Structure 1
């Protein structure tokens, strides 16, 4: 009998290939091939007061910084939603959306959720074209955002 690990109560790490992405408040779910850039970083503030007995600085947490998130998806006929969103960007009038990225378990239930606050497209890269290629056409959407929250289900 094959040992699948269940007899020992093994807990396996989640796979990263089953996820969903919702753009905006109206639950506009889109299918993506790849999501990257779910990074956050806290800048370091160094300080030393003049009467400190140690000749080194104190390091304190500063301002939080969030990376742009990159989404890649296949190009579909008559699907210009990202270009429409991108073209809506004008000086001081940016259509910001909440973007929700969910990592799903084998039953399709979310296990981890990343929520991007006030996201808007900063860059769209159209697919490259090659007459000898045997690949799917992929477009890339880069989003800037003002906050990343993570929740476990």
Structure 2
């Protein structure tokens, strides 16, 4: 089947990294970021060896999922205060952890199944404005760092909660 250029067939084109959104209950609407980094699913490894194993080989098995640190950057706008409000609500032992969904989007703005990542038990750990520079000409940015218990990949039905 030929491509007419009207839309990109999902089996002919790779997903683009510039169309994505982040959603969670702590934020009233999907939040637009210029960059999200640190998406990584990993797990501990468990090494084991029995004393009666004549080969002396150490067995390695998959262990518990590891948490991840996700960094989100966006333009700093006075009318968009939800990140600061979420940060201000994160006090010791009082923050309601969130399930965050980060979705890669197709050319029509719809989430693509294989590009939906969930951050289980997430909460903000750092908020930082960009440096102020009287000689600069760039847009002011804000950076939110989020810690999560586990990054759930597409197809993972464990729920993470």
User: TM-score normalised by the shorter chain: which range applies?
Assistant: 0.7 to 0.9
Stretches (4+) displaced over 3 A: none
More strand by share: 1
What SS class does the counterpart of residue 84 from structure 1 fall into?
Answer: helix
Question: Bigger CA drift: 122-131 or 25-34?
Answer: 25-34
Identify if the C-alpha distance between structure 1 residues 24 and 32 changes in structure 2 by more than 3 Å, giving closer, same or farther. same
Counterparts of residues 120-135 of structure 1 (less than 5 Å)? 120-135=123-138
**In 1, Cα distance between equivalents of 2:27 and 2:127:** 22
The answer to whether residue 142 in structure 2 is matched with residue 139 in structure 1 is yes
Question: What is the TM-score of this pair, normalised by structure 2?
Answer: 0.82
1:71-99 C-alpha deviation (Å, 9 max, x unpaired): 10100014332222112122221122221
Question: Bigger CA drift: 121-130 or 81-90?
Answer: 81-90
* Gapped regions of structure 1 (runs ≥ 5): none
1:29-55 C-alpha deviation (Å, 9 max, x unpaired): 111000111112111111110100112
Question: What RMSD in Å do the two structures reach over aligned CA positions?
Answer: 2.1
The partner residue of 1:6 within 3, 8, 17 is 3
* Gapped regions of structure 2 (runs ≥ 5): 156-161
What SS class does the counterpart of residue 83 from structure 1 fall into?
Answer: helix
Q: How many pairs align?
A: 147
**In 2, Cα distance between equivalents of 1:98 and 1:27:** 14
Q: Is the 8 A contact 1:23 1:29 kept in 2?
A: yes
**In 1, Cα distance between equivalents of 2:121 and 2:66:** 14
What SS class does the counterpart of residue 66 from structure 2 fall into?
Answer: strand
Structure (1 or 2) with the larger CA radius of gyration: 1
**In 2, Cα distance between equivalents of 1:55 and 1:145:** 37
**In 1, Cα distance between equivalents of 2:154 and 2:63:** 23
Q: Is the 8 A contact 2:116 2:154 kept in 1?
A: yes
Question: What is the TM-score of this pair, normalised by structure 1?
Answer: 0.86
